[in-house]
């Protein structure tokens, strides 16, 4: 019997993406136009609202180690910026573990001098870590039961 932990919604956005995500990113990054990004929607804090895990694909937000990942808290009508992390790559997984009310993520790191692997991204009560390459590495056993987010291409 299959058991699903949560629902994940996928999407791709560029200059005309999901308006609520566009608005949150423009507000946070203080840019005049919408950034190129891909996103997955999942309830990370188990409040009944979908949150957005956003990979910003704009060239100014990517480098040899990966791209900027933003976490946006969802509500009925909008998203609010919660946290951002540098040098993030897919696969990005949502683990069963929660810390301080938010699901733990794993992010792939490689390139830019980082040791390749997947690292834990644990919420500290305010945010997820800024740099995945400074976090503890996950083993295959740690990732059992995790849900891989699928970002639209």
What is the chain's mean pLDDT, rounded?
A: 88
Task: Say how many domains are in the chain.
Answer: 1
The domain containing residue 112 runs over which residues? 9-148
Domain presence at residue 1: no
Domain presence at residue 16: yes
Domain presence at residue 136: yes
Entry pTM:
0.88
pLDDT tens digit sequence for 30-51: 998 889 999 999 999 999 999 9
For β-strands 51-56 and 66-74, DSSP reports them as antiparallel
Domain presence at residue 142: yes
Domain presence at residue 153: no
- pLDDT average, residue stretch 122-141: 97
């Amino acid at each position: 019997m299959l058991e699903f932990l949560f629902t994940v919604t996928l999407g791709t956005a560029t200059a005309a993406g999901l308006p609520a995500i566009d608005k949150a990113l423009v507000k946070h990054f203080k840019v005049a136009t919408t950034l190129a990004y891909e996103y997955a929607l999942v309830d990370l804090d188990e409040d009944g609202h979908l949150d957005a895990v956003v990979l910003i694909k704009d060239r100014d937000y990517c480098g040899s180690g990966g791209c900027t990942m933003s976490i946006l808290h969802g509500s009925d009508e909008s998203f609010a910026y919660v946290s951002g992390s540098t040098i993030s790559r897919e696969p990005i997984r949502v683990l069963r573990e929660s810390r301080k009310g938010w699901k733990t993520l794993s992010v792939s790191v490689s390139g830019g001098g980082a040791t390749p692997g997947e690292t834990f991204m644990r919420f500290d009560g305010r945010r997820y870590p800024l740099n995945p390459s400074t976090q503890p590495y996950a083993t295959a056993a740690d990732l059992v039961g995790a849900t891989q987010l699928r970002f639209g291409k």
